[in-house]
Structure 1
């Protein structure tokens, strides 16, 4: 089960999502998209929250408002983190997530620690969490099939671009 949320409307059409549990998080880690940015409470147990950016966007394109939505959702979905103020939330591109066979289910590391950003969250802002929860939709997506469909579309696009570059004789 994956939970989907709509970021604040004035920020544009962004979907924020998170897995139901650590097993769902494994699937999200495995079948993520290059446009996905991963969020987690630092040094505490919490949900793995993602935002899917638009093609061509990077972590630098996340607006303050969308960032606030993501970090508030992570904080609200951390048993420990939701109870205390002044927590840190880390975030990084999905492509920077590192998973090895020796890691526990739902556990990750980073390929490049310098790509991990940290934001301080002073307190839970209920207005934001409640607004996000009103947009919450539960789905059981086939993450592998979604990823394979995107890969196939990208291969087809590259094939077309290569064909267009080949000079005709």
Structure 2
């Protein structure tokens, strides 16, 4: 089971979600999307919360209000973290999550520590948690099927862009050739480049 939330501090709302338990967290780690940002309370057990970025958006583009929503949601879903003030929440792109065979279910590391960002949460803000909980929905998605569909659509979009690019290049080449032909014809018809027939005889009598 996965819980979905909408962060409506932006328009359209941003999508936040988390697994019901460590088994769902494991599936989310395995079948996450390149657009997913992972959040977790630093050095304390907590839920794994994800934010799905929009196409073209980067981790540095996340609005501060959305970032605060995600951090508050992580803190509220940590048994220890929820009771603490001044906790740090770490976040990084899904692609930076590292899973090795010796790790426990739901446990992750990082490929690049320098790509792990951190935000300080001074205290729980109930207004934010209550607002997010009003948007909460549950679902039982097929993680693998959703990821494969996402990848297939991306491939189709790339192929479409390549086709459009090739078509544009062909049209530009056709246009260049047409212009070259016009220039060549105009040059040929230029009086200065035309040869005048002259046999050196002013008479029209060939006999």
Superposition RMSD on alpha carbons, in Å?
1.5
Contact 1:8/1:69 (CA < 8 Å) preserved in 2?
no
Shift of 1:35: 1.0
Q: TM-score, normalised by structure 1?
A: 0.95
Contact 1:19/1:28 (CA < 8 Å) preserved in 2?
yes
Aligned to 2:161: 161
Residue ranges of structure 2 left out of the alignment (5+ in a row): 175-207
Q: TM-score, normalised by structure 2?
A: 0.78
- Partners of 1:127 and 1:74 lie apart in 2 by 15
Bigger Rg over Cα: 2
Name the one with the larger helix percent: 2
Shift of 1:165: 4.2
- Partners of 1:32 and 1:101 lie apart in 2 by 18
- Partners of 2:95 and 2:23 lie apart in 1 by 19
Alpha-carbon displacement from aligned partner over 1:91-142 (angstroms, at most 9, x marks no partner):
0011111111111100000111000001111100001001111110010011
Alpha-carbon displacement from aligned partner over 1:17-49 (angstroms, at most 9, x marks no partner):
000000000111111111110000000000000
Relative contact order higher in (CA < 8 Å, ≥ 6 apart): 1
Matches within 5 A, 1:1-169: 1-166=1-166
Shift of 1:12: 3.1
Number of residue pairs the alignment of both structures matches: 169
- Partners of 1:133 and 1:50 lie apart in 2 by 15
